[in-house]
């Protein structure tokens, strides 16, 4: 286990020196968290949420009958943006993992690394964890910013049921990390070729 921790620390020391990787890890979750908050805030300040107009069928199928049309529209927007939090664990680790192998080849540090007394499984596990952990943390932090901001802007109520829907919580906290592992393994296979 110490060998895997060493590989993870080595990967983070090398990978996070690259601005593009660091920008991807920080900017993407922040952008995907703040953009829907800006839309929700604009709707709220423009008075769109207080109107009782007729909504299209695609909105109504998502909403409870007790919701106003404005709350229904907010519920629909939040539900659509929650899909973005399923993309973050796919993009971030791919960038890190691809650089992990390609960076080793370009700096010519792959051969000395392979000469160390570690197994292939330990090497791949270390590179996998070094890519997955930042993606999961960034996804969960972005989701927390989005959920707290949405509840503050809209005052909770019916929107809280959209954010705390068990389907979305399972998707963000369980399926997201699994997709991150899958995308990292695929990225490592492709970049090692």
Q: How many other CB atoms are there within 10 angstroms of residue 49's CB atom?
A: 20
Can you give the three-state secondary structure of the chain, one letter per residue?
Answer: CHHHHHHHHHHHHHHCCCHHHHHHHHHHHHHHHHHHHHHHHHHHHHCHHHCCCCCCHHHHCCCCCCCCHHHHHHHHHHHHHHHHHHCHHHHHHHHHHHHHHHHHHHCCCHHHHHCCCCCHHHHHHHHHHHHHHHHHHHHHHHHHHHHHHHHHHHCCCHHHHHHCCHHHHHHHHHHHHHHHHHHHHHHHHHHHC
**What pLDDT sits at residue 65?**
67
Range of the domain at 166: 2-41+68-192
In a domain, 35, yes or no: yes
In a domain, 49, yes or no: no
**Residue 50 within any structural domain of the chain:** no
Q: Return per-residue pLDDT of the chain as tens, 193 residues.
A: 788 888 888 888 777 777 877 887 888 888 888 888 888 788 766 555 554 556 666 666 667 666 777 777 777 777 778 788 888 888 888 878 777 777 777 777 666 766 777 887 888 888 888 889 988 999 999 989 988 888 888 776 667 776 777 888 898 899 999 999 998 888 877 776 6
> Among 109, 91, 138, 89, which Cα is nearest to 14's?
109
Q: Count of domains in the chain?
A: 1
Q: What is the pTM of this model?
A: 0.79
pLDDT of the residue at 54: 66
Domain-located, residue 160 = yes
Q: Is residue 155 part of a domain?
A: yes
The answer to the question of residue 51 being in a domain is: no
Q: What is the pLDDT of residue 48?
A: 54
What pLDDT, on a 0 to 100 scale, did the predictor assign at position 174?
92
Integer Cα distance of 172 and 88 in angstroms: 10
Three-point CA angle 14, 113, 123, nearest 5°: 85
Whether 60 is covered by a domain: the verdict is: no
| Inside any domain, residue 62 | no
């Amino acid at each position: 286990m110490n060998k895997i921790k060493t590989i993870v620390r080595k990967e983070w020391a090398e990978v996070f020196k690259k601005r593009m990787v660091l920008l991807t890890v920080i900017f993407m979750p922040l952008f995907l968290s703040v953009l829907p908050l800006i839309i929700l805030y604009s709707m709220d300040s423009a008075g769109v949420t207080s109107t009782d107009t007729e909504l299209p069928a695609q909105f109504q199928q998502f909403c409870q009958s007790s919701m106003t049309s404005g709350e229904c529209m907010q519920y629909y927007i939040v539900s659509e943006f929650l899909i973005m939090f399923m993309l973050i664990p796919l993009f971030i680790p791919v960038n890190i993992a691809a650089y992990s192998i390609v960076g080793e080849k370009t700096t010519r540090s792959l051969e000395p690394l392979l000469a160390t007394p570690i197994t292939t499984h330990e090497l791949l596990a270390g590179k996998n964890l070094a890519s997955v952990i930042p993606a999961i943390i960034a996804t969960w932090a972005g989701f927390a910013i989005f959920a707290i901001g949405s509840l503050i802007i809209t005052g909770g109520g019916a929107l809280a049921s959209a954010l705390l829907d068990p389907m979305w919580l399972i998707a963000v906290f369980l399926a997201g990390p699994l997709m991150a592992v899958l995308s990292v393994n695929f990225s490592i296979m492709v970049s090692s070729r």
